Amino acid sequence: MKQVKKLNTPRSNLFAWFVVLAAVLAYGGHARAGTVTLCVDKSSAAAPMDTRLAQAVARHEGATLALHRFDGAGDGDDGLGAKDFHRLAAQCDLVLGFPVDAGAHGAPMPGLHATRAYGHTGFVLVTPRGKGWTSLASLPAGSRVAVTYQTTPNIYLADHPKLAADVQLDDAATLKALQSRKDVAAMLWRPTVVSQLGERGLEQHYDMHELDESHARFDLVALYDDAHAEAAKAFEQAVAAMAASGELAQTLAPYAQPGAALTAVAGAKSAERRVFGAARTRHAADRRCAANARAGKSRKPARVPTLYTQAQADIGKAKFLENCSRCHGRDLGGMAGPALKGANFASAASHFHVGDIFTIVSQNMPATQPGSLPKDDYVEIMAFLLQENGYPAGSTALTFDQAKQSKVDFIYRGQ
């Protein structure tokens, strides 16, 4: 499954899975008895791994495999939106290879369920073989690190000021910058590195190390809807058996490692718990609300911080229209680039801070010359983005350093 790389979650975010773009390819027909229908993203670097997993699961279930290959890239770089995944989940028993930030909580796709994590992957530091550089902190001061435009690893360098980011427009260019020795390291999605180096027969020349940074580690799950809860239960039981025998590790390598431990007992019960657990949670919440109302209790709404002035947002709007709207749309709804407004872009489940978003903006925009605008321009554009995502203006102006270091949660608050 293609990773969530853009912030409105993969071409990142973190984050292309949750944004609006093209409808999924039509798929007709229904699985006959004894057939398991599994969806695999053919555009993903990990498609060979997902296909092997689908074949192994069908074999363990004693079922015939109906493999539906869809294009997770959609009509652009942002991948499929929520409606597309709902359609896939209705047509297939499970949608394999969905990446979920290991630090996130809650449903990875509103209205759908997820199996227990069967795999673990994420962003890695790639260096020439034998250098001994296992983390960003271990790189020599002044090192240039290649990173792909608008991907999550851009935010990691904010915590490593001794390093310099070399932003490339795509993953191939990022890897090429490392191979040409222009840069001493690169940060990329592990399946992408495996796929591209494998195609060129260069695996033996480079080391990969999992990055110990925020939003770098991802779990792989399968998505399903209410109607396919029994299929999810059978899937978890099959994966548990594969994990116990060591087959799962072989099936996922080298793209990923086995995820959370599964047992047949846990797998048999977990799908049912997820399907009906949300309803029980809502009923419990309703009971608590009723009790609070009877007790005369009330909660004050959480205070939304004021981080910028109205003057900054007004100037920022003009600068956004001049420098950013060609890719992101005049209404921030997304075009060639992702949407920069709304619940999909600023999801609470993504756990991004204002500083994370600002680092991406200031290092990656505009696309033609990333990081080329004056600092004040980036601050004012950020003020406009905050305003458009529901943050009120205040009396104190935002500064570049404040924006970069801000740990305020970046969440769409409506307007």
Q: At 55, is the pLDDT very low, low, confident or very high (cuts 50, 70, 90)? A: very high
For the chain, give the mean pLDDT: 81
Please list, in sequence order, all residues whose beta carbon lies within 8 angstroms of the beta carbon of residue 286, skipping any fewer than 6 positions away: none
The answer to whether residue 393 sits within a structural domain is yes
CB atoms within 10 A of CB 376: 14
The answer to whether residue 162 sits within a structural domain is yes
Decide: 319 and 380 in contact? Cβ < 8 Å: yes
CB atoms within 10 A of CB 132: 7
Last residue of a domain, one of 184, 210, 236: 210
Last residue of a domain, one of 152, 184, 210: 210
29-33, 34-38, 91-95, 235-239: segment of lowest average pLDDT: 29-33
Q: Is the pLDDT of residue 41 over 70?
A: yes
Q: Is the pLDDT of residue 178 over 80?
A: yes
Q: At 410, is the pLDDT very low, low, confident or very high (cuts 50, 70, 90)? A: very high
User: Based on the structure, what is the number of domains in the chain?
Assistant: 2
The answer to whether residue 111 sits within a structural domain is no
Domain boundaries, position 360: 310-405
Q: If DSSP codes are grouped into helix, strand and coil, which group holds residue 206? A: strand
Q: Is the pLDDT of residue 274 over 50?
A: no
User: Among 109-123, 329-343, 359-373, which range has the highest average pLDDT?
Assistant: 109-123
CATH number, domain containing residue 137 = 3.40.190.10
Q: What's the angle, vertex CA 104, arms to CA 379 and CA 160, rounded to 5?
A: 45
Q: Is the pLDDT of residue 125 over 50?
A: yes
Please list, in sequence order, all residues whose beta carbon lies within 8 angstroms of the beta carbon of residue 287, skipping any fewer than 6 positions away: none
Last residue of a domain, one of 152, 178, 210: 210
Q: DSSP readout, 240-255?
A: HHHHHHTHHHHHHTTT
Q: If DSSP codes are grouped into helix, strand and coil, which group holds residue 209? A: strand
The answer to whether residue 356 sits within a structural domain is yes
Please tell me which residue, 61 or 347, carries the higher pLDDT value: 61
The answer to whether residue 300 sits within a structural domain is no
The answer to whether residue 362 sits within a structural domain is yes
Q: At 110, is the pLDDT very low, low, confident or very high (cuts 50, 70, 90)? A: confident
Tell me the C-alpha distance between 99 and 114, whole Å. Answer: 11
pLDDT value of residue 329: 85
Q: What's the angle, vertex CA 86, arms to CA 83 and CA 88, rounded to 5?
A: 110
The dihedral sign for the CA sequence 339, 407, 121, 209? positive
The answer to whether residue 71 sits within a structural domain is no
pLDDT value of residue 105: 64
Q: At 101, is the pLDDT very low, low, confident or very high (cuts 50, 70, 90)? A: confident
Please list, in sequence order, all residues whose beta carbon lies within 8 angstroms of the beta carbon of residue 139, skipping any fewer than 6 positions away: 133, 145, 160, 163, 184, 185
First to last CA, the chain: 34
Average pLDDT over residues 265-286: 35
Decide: 407 and 336 in contact? Cβ < 8 Å: no
The answer to whether residue 181 sits within a structural domain is yes
Burial 24-49 (b: 16+ CB within 10 A, else e): beeeeeebeeeebbbbbbbebbbbeb
48-57, 94-103, 131-140: segment of lowest average pLDDT: 94-103
